Amino acid sequence: MGGRTRLDMDVRRQQLVEVGRELFAKRPYDEVWVEEIASAAGVSRGLLYHYFPTKRDFFVEVVRAQVDHIAELTAPDLSKPPLEGLRETLDAYLRYVEENAQGYISIHRAGIGSDAEIRAILEESYARDVDRILQRITAGGAAPAIVRVAVRGWLAFTIGTVIDWIEHPTIERDELRELLVQAMKGCVTAAMEVEPGTKLPGIQDDAGVGAEAAR
């Protein structure tokens, strides 16, 4: 009676990670102090260290939570055609990024962003994103290697332009979203130009993708 149960500990852990997600969303990793995290969570430094031995360990969990959250947020709506579904997904994604700009940059670029463990979390999430997209555009069929490379490249295009847009917002969010949708068409079409026999039933009839390669 009264002792901390495993469930209590899991809940507390989640609460701490949630506090971290809010703090790291607005400010860079190096500018957030352990004292501040503990204070924002209403716990002692000692308790925070009990759950997470180092600030880096804590940040790794925050990144994992953030990546999971984005994965949920961007789960494809299978009732829509791929490009229309992509447009809605990107809309949710960009709104999230706007609210969590600094966290996005921290993960995808600055400082601790190249940490091996964080890198592994990101690689896993990229692989899942690529698989999700390939499933849609191949309508569940096999994807040629070059199409996979093109989709992986499109993800890099997306992250690169989003970071650039956070720091230099020279275009509107809706313009960026449309650029990303059209770039998906452009990148997949590029793969089909290199391997003309490629069949992508999920996307080929959608908004004219591959019309050029099919000629």
Residue ranges that bind a copy of itself, judged by CB under 8 A:
109-114, 116, 119, 145-146, 148-150, 152-161, 164-165, 170-171, 175-176, 178-179, 182-183, 185-187, 189-191, 193-195, 208, 212
Q: Which is nearer to a copy of itself, 5 or 170 (CB)?
A: 170
Smallest separation (angstroms) from a copy of itself to the CB of 106 = 10
Cα–Cα distance measured from residue 8 to residue 14, given in angstroms and rounded to the nearest whole number: 10
In whole angstroms, what is the distance from residue 16 CA to residue 40 CA? Answer: 9
Listed residue (155, 26, 140) closest to 89, CA to CA: 155
Contact assessment for residue 128 and residue 71, using Cβ atoms and an 8 Å cutoff: yes
In whole angstroms, the minimum distance from the beta carbon of 111 to a copy of itself comes to 6
HSE-up of 187 (CA within 13 Å, CB side)?
Answer: 22
Taking the chain, what is the end-to-end CA distance rounded to the nearest angstrom? Answer: 74
Size of the chain, expressed as the number of residues it contains: 215
Question: Which residue number, 40 or 146, has a Cβ lying nearer to a copy of itself?
Answer: 146
Q: How far is the CB of 186 from a copy of itself (least distance, A)?
A: 2
Q: Which is nearer to a copy of itself, 64 or 148 (CB)?
A: 148
Q: How far is the CB of 202 from a copy of itself (least distance, A)?
A: 18
